[in-house]
Structure 1
Amino acid sequence: MRLDLWLAFVATTLLISATPGPNMLLMLSHGTRYGWQRTLATMAGALSGLAILFTLSAFGLAAILAASATLFMLLKIVGAAYLVYLGIQCWRAGASLHLPRADGESAAKRYRLGLAVALSNPKAILFAGAFLPQFVDPNLPQQHQWVVLLTTFFIIEGTWQVAYAAGGARLAAWLASPRRIKLFNRGCGGAFFAVGGLLALARR
């Protein structure tokens, strides 16, 4: 693909992926609780969710969401409600570094949580349907350009997820007292509330 388009895509995606949205907040939280190696299962789930959303976008779901205000509103409310639920879980964790019901103890459960968080945001489908095509040159072979763009996106997204999880792991050493742990859990809970509220208020 064209080098100028690819460089513009890299620069934009670096900024977008770095923004602390639902996926990155989850990586930070799990990195603190379980260490970045065990958070790899959560990352795999989140990346799998994004891959599913991008596939659905390729089959036209992004266009359907963009055209149907009712469907977009429904998916948006479901996604926002799930993020608020995660916020409540973190808030209720109190001075414990483990989520209630030990949801993060098994790799399979961490994977499913990452998958659910990634799938809970319909804006990601619109990202794939509206943002990515802007970097495709219609005068060049389409398939190769999509392969380059998607490979680049997942490398950048995965790198940022590892960075957030590693940052959370470093936070674990600072969280030496129940008071700090409680503040951290309340902070994560408040962040999930905020992101859920922003998603609920977001327009197409």
Structure 2
Amino acid sequence: MDAIVQKLALSAKDNSRPTQEEAEDAVRVLLRWAGEDTSREGLLDTPRRVAKAYRELFSGYDQDAADVLGRTFEEVAGYDDMVLVRNIPFHSHCEHHMVPIIGTASVGYLPDGRVLGLSKIARTVDIYARRLQTQESMTSQIANAIQDALDPKGVAVFVEAEHMCMSMRGIQKQGSTTLTTTFTGAFKEDASLQARFMTMARSGK
């Protein structure tokens, strides 16, 4: 047990990505710390499964939003009004407790001659969601990535989510949600545009 802990500590010290074996060893340490017997049949393959799940749940670390947003389209027939993709579902994990954050994101922008493929917006949300996050940071990261890649007249992002660190532990208030917004460019300067975006984003809820 001590050898495993020492090995994990050395890996953390040099800041390199641990091996699959080291990740599985870490899961075994946590299971034993929780009071489990890692040799019982039901847990024999759990470390491998958890490591595989974490690779998927935190796949955003291996992706760059700039790559996803790199391709834009200029043939928009003069369209220059708001583009809004509403209620994009996501799941993330709180960086403080590593428990789920589950919610939706609505992303809008005012094009300035170029537009994005709609799926690119949803993929950008996923890239930032699939990392350890705070909701505030994630909201800003999505807006800034689109602003930097597309250089539109403005970007608006609205995120509504339930945090399991409030629902499952601590204060244990199930069903409470947190709302965050970020506005850039014209959205930041014009309160009427913000209101229009929020009305469109929340309509039907």
User: Which structure is higher in RCO with an 8 Å CA cutoff and minimum separation 6?
Assistant: 1
Q: TM-score range by the shorter chain?
A: under 0.3
Q: TM-score, normalization: structure 1?
A: 0.24
Q: TM-score, normalization: structure 2?
A: 0.24
